[in-house]
Structure 1
C-alpha cells in the first residue's frame, strides 16, 4: 500500500526524491498499511489517510476469533489468527470505518 501521509527520502545519483512511502499490507489485507514505530510504541495502521492504533482493531478481532474457536472447539493460536484476519477482512474494514466515524464526531 502506498501511504498518503508519509514520504520516503531517497538519494539516487546525487538527486533526492521524496516519493510516498510504501507500507506493507497489514495481515495481508489490501489497502491497510502497517506502520511499525519500534518495540516501545504501539504500531498503527494507515487506512484512507488516517492512522489508527492496531490494538483497537486486534482486540475486537481477537475476541471474535476466540468466540469462533470456542463454538468450533478449536484451539486459538496466533498462526490461525493471522488466517482469520485475512478471511474476515470485511469485518476489519467495518471496524476501521466505525473507529474513523467515532473520531470525526
Structure 2
C-alpha cells in the first residue's frame, strides 16, 4: 500500500456499518480502498485485504481506523458516519486523475 501511496494513490474509506457508541468507544464497520489514476483519466479502486485470508479488512472501531490513518501518514482523517458514505484520505503525493 505504501508503494501505491508514494506513486500518487489516495485512500477511500467506506462505512459498511454505521457506528454506535459502546462504552468509551464507537463501534461500526469501515472498509478501506486504495485508489489511483488509471492512466486514462479514470480511477482504479482496490479493496484493502488481510494477508491471512485475502478478505476485505473491516475496521471495527473509529479509533482503529484513525490509528491506521496515522500509520499511513495521511494529511486529514475522514471517517464517514452513515452506511454507504465515503471519506477520502489524501497524502503529500496524491495525484487525482485529470480530464484532458
Q: TM-score, normalised by structure 2?
A: 0.22
Q: Which has the higher contact order (CA 8 A, sep 6+)?
A: 2
Q: TM-score, normalised by structure 1?
A: 0.21
Of Structure 1 and Structure 2, the greater helix share is in 1
Larger Rg: 1
Of Structure 1 and Structure 2, the greater strand share is in 2
